[in-house]
Amino acid sequence: MTHIKEKEALLNKVTPPKAGRREWLGLAVLMLPTLLIVMDLTVLHLAVPHLSADLQPSSTQLLWIVDIYGFMIAGSLVTMGTLGDRIGRRKLLLIGAAAFGVASMLAAFSTSAAMLIAARALLGVAGATLMPSTMSLIRNMFLDEKERTVAIGVWVSGFSVGSAIGPLVGGFLLEHFWWGSVFLLGVPVMALLLGLGPILLPEFRDPQAGRVDLFSAALSLVSVLAVIYGLKQIAQEGPGWQPILFIVLGLVIGLVFIQRQRKLADPLIDLGLFRLPAFSVSLITYTLGVFVAFGVFLFIAQYLQLVLGLSPLQAGLWSVPGAVTSIIGSNGAPLLVRRVRPAFVIAGGLVLGAVGFALLTQIGVDSLALVVVGWGIMSLGFGATFTLTADLVVGTAPVERAGAASALSETGAEFGGALGLAVLGTLGIAIYRSQVLADLPPGIPSEAARTAQETLSGAVTVAQQLPDQLGAALLGTAHEAFIQGLQLTSVIGAVVMMGLAIMTVVMLRHIGQDDEPENQPEPEHPSRRPTLPVQPDLTFLD
């Protein structure tokens, strides 16, 4: 009955009811999936050497083991978000939690590479049910605008906490148990969610929901998978006709999907949402913010290990300050918007991100402190920006479409991450290769030179096999080339952040805590309009 109370409050123009102890305890339950999904991503990379030694996957199978999880999440988000609006968001969350637990056990006890790929695919589908359900349930549980912003800030913090503790917990398990133990992390977490969810979480479904169009669901899945796959192939192997063909195919299927939504009485996505400035601008900001964050972090992770020579655990520990500042930003933003309009707080976070990127343009071959400070400032800004943009995406959508809006937000993040790895990653690698080729020290064998030109990791390996003086010269050249790529991607990140800051102030400056619902445009579909206008509110590397 949560949606009925919210509509009555809006109709009577009275203050929405405050959240009670049950809602805040329920928020803690909703943080469990965010912690788990990020931890599941981080621990897999630690487990790859161990599972490779045991299962002996081919290079293609290993690629699918790593990537299939993110592919299936990205491709299933839109369908799962809409499905939750129809069958019930809590029901879908609990179904997904049960499936995630079962798939985690299948992954942990896999006896072949093919079995592990299948288990990871099931984990991705189950994971796609979790994010839209949790975000949209927050929309129903916290009816007061200020409380909802705080709640989403806490929810966003779960991602930062998961990224901080994932490598530590995963490293401990791998030191004491077999590789499958890292996948069992999901079992007790999902069991806790299944036990507490029915008690603390309310149910909500769209009372006017129609049937799910299965053909639209298939179109969205194929479209997203094709584009994401093409982008990741470009990130891993560079531009080529095959990944470009996949991207074009995905975009064409996406256009067919959009045209179909215009004609359906019950579309999978209400395209009218994109006419709302608060929705569309927030979604663009969120997507492009993830784009530059993922693209640059790819280089930072390599810089810490391959340039500074830190171990994976040491690199993970030096990333903890960034996670801490992200938590501060995501929980501090809700306090700021009580006194400052959301557009200016979002823009402030973006400016902080630009400052962090600007610091990274100044790094050299021994700039650990500069990297930690720059990444910390960026994370502070990202924490504030992502909290408020996610809140605007969900709060602007009609309450009965919150699940679909949440899914669009998470799909944008998946696209942004894949695009960042592909575009910025490819650009940085191209700069690295050209600089190494131009400055390659004389006397290096041709085979070793080709390996060194491919990646910084290859250059490090080759340098260890050469005489000391020649190896040191090659390593210096490779480090300088890699740093130039990192510096250029940081410049791009700073420019994108400043551009988004200007767009946010221009497009969202009218949104404030005193806006009336009727002052905002409504989404519209030819055959369906929301039953009530809803006031706009303030919502990681495969």
pLDDT at res. 208: 65
Two tokens at 410? 């998470």
Task: Report residue 330: phi and psi, to 5°.
Answer: -70, -30
Q: How far apart are CA 288 and CA 36, in angstroms?
A: 24
Q: Would you state the pLDDT for residue 354?
A: 93
- pLDDT one-digit tens code per residue, 163-199: 777 777 777 777 778 888 888 887 888 888 888 888 8
Beta strands per DSSP E along 231-284: none
Which residues pair with residue 528 across a beta bridge? 525
- Tell me the one-letter amino acid at 125: V
Among 74-78, 184-188, 420-424, 514-518, the range with the most confident prediction by mean pLDDT is: 184-188
Reply yes or no on whether the pLDDT at 504 is more than 80: yes
The pLDDT score that the predictor gives to residue 40 is 73
pLDDT digit string, tens, across residues 309-360: 877 677 777 878 888 898 888 888 888 888 888 889 999 999 999 999 999 9
The 10 Å Cβ neighbour count of residue 1 is: 8
Range with the poorest average pLDDT among 214-218, 268-272, 290-294, 516-520: 516-520
What pLDDT is recorded for position 533? 30
| pLDDT score of 432 more than 70 | yes
Question: Which tokens hold the place of 308?
Answer: 């500074």
The pLDDT score that the predictor gives to residue 400 is 64
Q: How confident is the model at residue 540 (pLDDT cuts 50, 70, 90)?
A: very low
Q: Which of 58-67, 164-173, 294-303, 517-526 has the lowest mean pLDDT?
A: 517-526
Instruction: Please tell me the predicted confidence (pLDDT) of residue 501.
Output: 92
Between 519 and 400, where is the model more confident? 400
Identity at 361, one-letter amino acid code: T
Q: What is the pLDDT of residues 402-413, one digit of tens each?
A: 666 777 777 777
pLDDT beyond 60 at 537: no
Q: Residue 109, CB half-sphere, CA atoms under 13 Å: how many?
A: 6
CA pair distance 24, 161, nearest whole angstrom: 18
Instruction: Decide if pLDDT at 220 tops 60.
Output: yes
pLDDT of residue 357: 93
**pLDDT band, very low/low/confident/very high, at 429 (cuts 50, 70, 90):** confident
Could you identify the residue written with the tokens 């981080």?
42
Long-range contacts of 465-473 (CB under 8 A, 24+ apart): 470/441, 470/443, 470/444, 473/441
Task: Name the H helices within 88-112.
Answer: 89-108
Give residue-wise pLDDT tens across range 86-137: 777 788 888 988 998 899 889 889 888 888 888 888 888 888 888 777 877 8
Split at pLDDT 50, 70, 90, the class of 386 is confident
pLDDT of residue 502: 92
Mean pLDDT of the chain: 78
Structure token pair of residue 224: 């997203």
**Higher-confidence residue: 102 or 10?**
102
Q: What was the pLDDT predicted at 15?
A: 66
Q: Is the pLDDT of residue 516 over 60?
A: no
What gap in Å lies between CA 461 and CA 179, rounded to an integer?
26
Name the more confident of 244 and 410: 244
3-state secondary structure of 525: strand
Q: Which of the pair, 482 or 413, is modelled with greater confidence?
A: 482
- Taking residues 137-161, what's their average pLDDT? 79
Kindly tell me if the per-residue pLDDT of 300 is higher than 80: yes
Percent of the chain with pLDDT over 90: 6
**Angle at which helices 342-360 and 468-508 cross, to 10°:** 160
Q: Rounded to 5 degrees, what are φ and ψ at 276?
A: -85, 120
The residue with tokens 């994976």 is 312
Note the pTM of the prediction, 2 decimals.
Answer: 0.75
Question: What was the pLDDT predicted at 520?
Answer: 46
Q: What does the pLDDT read at residue 359?
A: 93
Distance, CA of 27 to CA of 88 (rounded, Å):
18
